[in-house]
Structure 1
Amino acid sequence: MLIDLTGNTALVTGSTQGIGAAIASGLARAGARVAVNGRTEASVADAVERLSRQDPGTRFVSAPGDIATDEGAERVVGAVPRVDILVNNLGIFGAEDALTISDDEWRRYFEVNVLSAVRMIRSYLPGMMERSWGRVQNIASDSAVVIPAEMIHYGMSKTALLAVSRGFAKEAAGTGVTVNSVIAGPTHTGGVEDFVYELVDKDLPWDEAQRAFMREHRPQSLIQRLIEPDEIANMVVYLSSAFASATTGGAVRVDGGYVDSILP
């Protein structure tokens, strides 16, 4: 399957590292011009330089701005007025006792993980609909379906993101624009390494710590390992293509079989 996204502009939020950077790289290798987003100009500039060096011949542009705020979202839209492929990847996570999560923390997770995506969709979906083509993807999580006891505030935000995706898919019905969620399973990123060491013995070497984490905290995984970011990116690139024109309003799983259900 040859996927060619030449002529399309993509925006990947929260793409200076981790899953977002892998998605940005995958879309660029498929021919898209990719806007890299992060909160600061310095972090975005560093990421653009690194991604360009990693994949010579690809095209990246800078789109700094904290999209968890109205002002930051406006700054990003000002930098990239037209987007054909929108990937809402920005998200925060962390373990916390359910009975001690403050109201402010609940609000913060909703603002960053849900409303940031809504802001971007409101900004770019109308143009996609007018042009009769576009792709919107919201990066969700297995935690949207299997709520983790150690971070129910995070699970709540990702469940909400599934509803946001389905609702905006209905708004775009019949226009040629697709809106989907991608349910990512436990994925190997720097932030996840820190999270793993919050839950297992900090003195364990990484390979042993990873195995212990999957065995003790994610035993449902059928691949019995953390997913690599490029594996998430592969699904995003496919959903961004013409090959996925009949896939919309869905929650597509790249979870290593973690969710023990035939459907999300």
Structure 2
Amino acid sequence: MSISLNGKRALVCGSTAGIGLAIAIGLAQAGAEVVLNGRTQARVDQALKQVRAQHPAARIIGIAADLNTEQGTQTLIERVPHTDILVNHLGIYAASPSLAVRLAEHYAEGMAQRKWGRLMVLGEPDAGGLGETLAGTGVTFDAVLPGPAVADRVVALATTDSQRPE
């Protein structure tokens, strides 16, 4: 199945590896302008290279901002004030689920005003009751609670101090 997201902007939080990067690549392939996000500039730069290697004509930008912090969340909102599609991939491991919900609420408000948007929250099934709030606005809301995937962050969280290599 082929879809066209030409003219749409997609923001994928936590998109420097694993599921987030795969989603970002798929959105770029569908023609969306994609905003990649990760905690460090080095990881963002590496993810940008990976997307460009697969889709040289992709319209992509990268923003390093730690969305587990108030400052990082504010930085992202300032640099990307609106988006048509938000894949909020923070809830599973977010140090502050309230920041993940704040981010979703911020972007959902603009989507509702424009009467079109796609909001997907991975790992935070409630997301502040956004599903009910967005009913009838033209914005679709999906909360997905996936099982664990083997990714650097998962391995780091699951590994005890005594098991970590020195």
1:178 maps onto 2:161 in alignment: no
Inter-partner Cα distance in structure 1 for 2:153 and 2:107: 29
Bigger-Rg structure (1/2): 1
Inter-partner Cα distance in structure 1 for 2:53 and 2:111: 31
1:127 maps onto 2:110 in alignment: yes
Deviation sequence 1:26-49 (CA, Å, 0-9, x none): 111111111000112232122112
1:162 maps onto 2:125 in alignment: yes
Inter-partner Cα distance in structure 2 for 1:168 and 1:126: 10
Deviation sequence 1:141-175 (CA, Å, 0-9, x none): xxxxxxxxxxxxxxxxxxxx21226x101111111
Q: CA RMSD in A?
A: 2.3
Q: Aligned pairs, how many? A: 161
Using the TM superposition, give the Cα deviation of residue 115 of structure 1 relative to its aligned residue in structure 2, in angstroms.
1.9
Q: Is the 8 A contact 1:63 1:80 kept in 2?
A: no
Which residue of the partner structure matches residue 46 of structure 2? 46
The residue type paired with residue 164 of structure 1 is A
The residue type paired with residue 27 of structure 1 is L
Inter-partner Cα distance in structure 1 for 2:159 and 2:67: 28
Which residue of the partner structure matches residue 154 of structure 1? none
Q: 1:52 to 1:116 in 2, by over 3 A?
A: farther
Inter-partner Cα distance in structure 2 for 1:54 and 1:115: 34
Quick one: percent identity of the two aligned structures? 42
Inter-partner Cα distance in structure 2 for 1:115 and 1:60: 27
The residue type paired with residue 135 of structure 1 is R
Counterpart secondary structure, 1:162: coil
Counterpart secondary structure, 1:67: coil
Deviation sequence 1:114-147 (CA, Å, 0-9, x none): 223212112211110010000111112xxxxxxx
Q: 1:68 to 1:188 in 2, by over 3 A?
A: closer
Task: Please give the TM-score of this superposition, normalised by the length of structure 1.
Answer: 0.55
Unaligned segments of structure 2, at least 5 residues: none
Which residue of the partner structure matches residue 6 of structure 2? 6
